[in-house]
């Protein structure tokens, strides 16, 4: 899949948001950076330091209980995190992807 300007991407288990920062800078997309352990406020401050606060939306949420509408995202990325929530979140993940 090729990421294109204007797409909405879910970065699930984003941690400190480094992948979100890279995606927003490289592809000019909107990233929803979701993590359960790093606070949304901490990530927002980091995104603001990079001037990306309008492109990356930090969210504190559990991967198994995502607060998004069905088919809301064009893509989902999860770097080194899927093993933590895996199969139990799969139905939720497939629901939020277009």
- Closest-CA residue to 13 (of 29, 41, 32): 32
Higher pLDDT among residues 96 and 47, named by residue = 47
Q: What is the pTM of this model?
A: 0.85
Residue 76 has pLDDT above 80, yes or no: yes
22-74 residue pLDDT tens: 999 999 999 999 999 999 999 999 999 999 999 999 999 988 788 888 889 99
For 5, 35, 52, 83, 91, the CA distances from 63, given in Å and listed in that order, are: 25, 8, 23, 12, 11
């Amino acid at each position: 899949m090729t990421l294109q300007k204007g797409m909405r991407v879910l970065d699930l288990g984003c941690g400190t948001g480094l992948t979100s920062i890279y995606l927003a800078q490289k592809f000019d997309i909107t990233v929803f950076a979701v993590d359960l352990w790093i606070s949304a406020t901490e990530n927002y401050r980091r995104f603001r330091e990079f001037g990306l606060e309008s492109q990356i939306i930090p969210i504190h949420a559990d991967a198994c209980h995502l607060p998004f509408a069905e088919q809301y995202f064009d893509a989902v990325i999860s770097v080194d995190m899927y093993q933590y929530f895996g199969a139990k979140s799969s139905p939720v993940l497939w629901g939020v992807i277009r």
